[in-house]
Structure 1
Amino acid sequence: MIDPFLDDNPLSDIKSKDVEKLDYILVSHGHSDHFADCVKLAKKHDATVISTFELVSFCQQEEGVKKGHGMNIGGAYVFPFGRVKLTPALHTGSIDGDKNGAYTTDCCGFLISLDGGPTVYHAGDTALIMDLQLLQGRVDVALLPIGDNFTMGPEDAARAVEMIQPEVVIPMHYNTFELINQNPEAFREMVGDTARVEIMQPGGSYEL
């Protein structure tokens, strides 16, 4: 699971209590709409939290999570399900619940090369950055934010697609709140023939 935000998410069709099995939780940063249910899910399922070193340290030292794997931007590690590399994400980065700011950390994205499967890029909450050009030719499926205000908007996300050149792009981080309301069909038109746009609905699935 990536960035668990279920219980307080007005669009989520499942809640943390509905998750039956969970081995790994990847967290791009500590804002509540990405981190909110991480600790309770990690404790309930004895799942391993994968994130930046500081965020994992917070989970283990302050919240009692048993399993964690801290990393840093640019680093990669091979897990049982595949290889994970942390990529840069330009976004502010506090940790929800860290009252003293002792665990302040950078945000990240994830380049996930699944064993026997495709390579998936989850951009996190990044703005449009030139680093995305380095992913060209390396990504099969890209998940990009289009909500604007807090992240890339549709126009910048379409430019990101041009930089990355994935086969498939899935828009994310939009319509959860009024401030980030967007029309994903408009984003599809902006992308054009550069990639296939898969628009997901809550509860939907996409087979990799």
Structure 2
Amino acid sequence: MEFLKKCLSLILFFVLSVNLYAAGHTEITWYGHAAFKIKTPTGKVMVIDPWLTNPANQAGKDNLSKLNKVDLILITHGHADHVGDSVEIAKKTAARLVTTYDLGAALVKYGGYPEKQVGYDTQGNTGGEISLLDDEVKIAFIPAVHSSTFTEPHGIKHIRSSGNAGGFLISIKNGPVIYHTGDTDLFSDMALIPRFRKVDIMLAAIGDHFTMGPQRAAEAVKLVQPDIVIPMHFGTYPILRGTPKALEEAIKIKNINVEIKVMKIGETLNHK
């Protein structure tokens, strides 16, 4: 009888553990510009384009000092406002680098990213998908209409090629599918993304000038068909004049069925 009780207790513990895992939340924190932190239901941490110390984030230095656990650093392309604080974060946390092969090589050779934290298992290219963090996360490499160069710390005279710009489609086990557009213009092949995987959350650049503005971003939302769109890459500098309000108006005019979530810098969104 005692043995049976122990077996039942173990079974109950297993069932409760599975249910708690399945019911966990994914946390999405915005640091301004294109910088996000994603925490999975099991507590794994990814940061995307981690320029935490961007001019719009007054708490950036404090955020950076407190960021002590990161498993993966995802960088869409080589421009300084997306590489951001990645090397400092990598050296502090031993985070692996997720980029295209070309950008990874440039960051190691010219940017000081620890070579031992970069490998074929975390590098990919457009059209490919990799599985990481014990298969809890799948990351697909999505194209972007943009440029990608890496500027060494020595200045603009030391610009290095870093492959093609891109975005990421991040699928989290027992969590959402998140599309980070990176810096891009609208392109018609965005319509192919939901044919392969339903997008729950789209992190969409709207700033204009260097990326698509609100009008073109609204059309991108129409193609991708996410449940939620979070505008990003706006307002960091006056030149990035696209606004969430303009995006909301464009989406309303186009009669697109989507929830627009305008996040405050430092805010965290919990998603079941």
TM range (shorter): over 0.9
One-letter code of the match for 1:194?
N
What's the RMSD between the two structures over aligned residues?
1.5
After TM superposition, give the deviation of residue 140 of structure 1 in Å. 0.8
- Indicate if the aligned counterparts of 2:106 and 2:162 stay in contact, CA closer than 8 A: no
After TM superposition, give the deviation of residue 61 of structure 1 in Å. 3.5
Q: TM-score, normalised by structure 2?
A: 0.72
After TM superposition, give the deviation of residue 183 of structure 1 in Å. 2.6
- Indicate if the aligned counterparts of 1:161 and 1:194 stay in contact, CA closer than 8 A: no
Residue number in structure 2 paired with 1:207: 270
After TM superposition, give the deviation of residue 14 of structure 1 in Å. 2.6
In 2, Cα distance between equivalents of 1:134 and 1:146: 21
| Dislocated runs of 4+, deviation >3 Å | none
- Indicate if the aligned counterparts of 2:70 and 2:93 stay in contact, CA closer than 8 A: yes
**What is the CA deviation profile of residues 115-161 of structure 1, one whole-angstrom value per residue up to 9, with x for unaligned ones?**
11111100000100011010135211101110000000000000011
In 2, Cα distance between equivalents of 1:100 and 1:92: 13
- Indicate if the aligned counterparts of 2:68 and 2:92 stay in contact, CA closer than 8 A: no
Q: For structure 2, list consecutive stretches of 5 or more residues without a partner in the other structure.
A: 1-46
- Indicate if the aligned counterparts of 1:57 and 1:70 stay in contact, CA closer than 8 A: no
- Indicate if the aligned counterparts of 1:91 and 1:127 stay in contact, CA closer than 8 A: yes
**What is the CA deviation profile of residues 70-117 of structure 1, one whole-angstrom value per residue up to 9, with x for unaligned ones?**
21111101111410000000101101218362x431001000000111
Q: Does 1:147 align with 2:207?
A: yes
One-letter code of the match for 2:206?
I
Count of residue correspondences: 206
- Indicate if the aligned counterparts of 1:119 and 1:140 stay in contact, CA closer than 8 A: yes
In 2, Cα distance between equivalents of 1:118 and 1:45: 25
In 1, Cα distance between equivalents of 2:60 and 2:141: 27
1:36-185 alignment runs, 5 A limit: 36-62=84-110, 63-65=112-114, 66-68=116-118, 69-80=122-133, 81-97=136-152, 99=158, 101=160, 103-136=161-194, 138-185=198-245
After TM superposition, give the deviation of residue 10 of structure 1 in Å. 1.1
**What is the CA deviation profile of residues 41-92 of structure 1, one whole-angstrom value per residue up to 9, with x for unaligned ones?**
1111111010010111223344151312221111101111410000000101
Higher relative contact order (Cα pairs below 8 Å, separated by 6+ residues): 2
Whose helix fraction is larger, Structure 1's or Structure 2's? 2
Q: For structure 1, list consecutive stretches of 5 or more residues without a partner in the other structure.
A: none
